[in-house]
Amino acid sequence: MSEVSSQLPADPITAVGVVTSLSKAPDDYYVVAQTTDGSDADLWKDGLFKSKVTRYLCFTRKTGPDVVVDMKVIDIKDALPEGFTPVEETMDTKETAMRKRRLCVKISPRAAAKTAVYDIQIIAKSKYQLVNYTCVGDMNSMKVWYRIGDVPQPLSSQETSAAANSDAAPPDTASRKTMSRPDLENQNSGHYTMTALDDVPFAISEKFFEKPKEMQQVNLMGITIKSLAEIEEEFYYSFSAERSIAV
């Protein structure tokens, strides 16, 4: 039996079932053997006649793709709530799980669930209430309670990639130098390193300050280079005909 604690369990419940014996629960399943006041939590026992038939609620927090997000206890004649699955058979003997009442659970993919069931308790006194727990319903003069908590969601692929990049070590300094210009690297880093070209004077040759001589006609392989005046004189067009039509 799980203890009633103000601290939320680490993992949500992933499956709920019923067994006929305390010793026949599947691996990784917890059996609610006693009520919160220490009484037998048998969900089948008859108040008038002693019966050898017993039924105990059990659950598991084994990690899986789905989680239990809700539970209900309804009358056997009531319609099944939408989205819920009834616990029809015992997990160990495949017998009828409940009489007169029916336990129903709602399962959801873990990735789509914002909240889930984290703990289940059974109380014998109808007026007694559990802090932070919700009553599911009555069963055999007892009440079933569960506790809801938030489901932690895994990081998305983009968030995981961003986290990995932020934790990654910076690229090797030597490899970065081979891919960048030394002069720009010095400017970006705020430091300057002397090179072999420092203090070497640079000046434009005086021949580039001379005014070019007037271009003369030169015949190179039949190509005649003409001056600007000769080109304008040869190809001058007054556009007089166009102007007379426009006017």
Degrees (nearest 5) of the Cα angle 124, 130, 136? 70
Read off the pLDDT of residues 19-75 as tens digits, 9 standing for 90 and up: 999 999 999 999 999 999 889 999 987 655 566 889 999 999 999 999 999 999 999
- Of 91 and 188, more confident: 91
H-type helices in the chain, by residue range?
Answer: 157-167, 173-178, 182-189, 228-234, 240-246
pTM of the full predicted structure? 0.61
Report the percentage of the chain scoring pLDDT > 70. 66
Rounded mean pLDDT, 213-229: 64
**Confidence class of residue 161 from pLDDT cuts 50, 70 and 90?**
low
| CA gap 134, 142 in Å, rounded | 14
Residue with tokens 């009633």: 4
**Is the pLDDT score of 113 beyond 60?**
yes
**Is the pLDDT score of 176 beyond 50?**
no
| CA gap 54, 3 in Å, rounded | 22
Q: What is the DSSP letter of 183?
A: H
Rounded mean pLDDT, 195-213: 63
Sign, Cα dihedral of 109, 110, 113, 116: positive
Could you tell me if 54 and 32 are in contact, meaning their C-beta atoms sit under 8 angstroms apart? no
**Domains of the chain by start residue, with CATH:** 15-150 (2.100.10.50)
Phi, psi of 233 (to 5 degrees): -70, -40
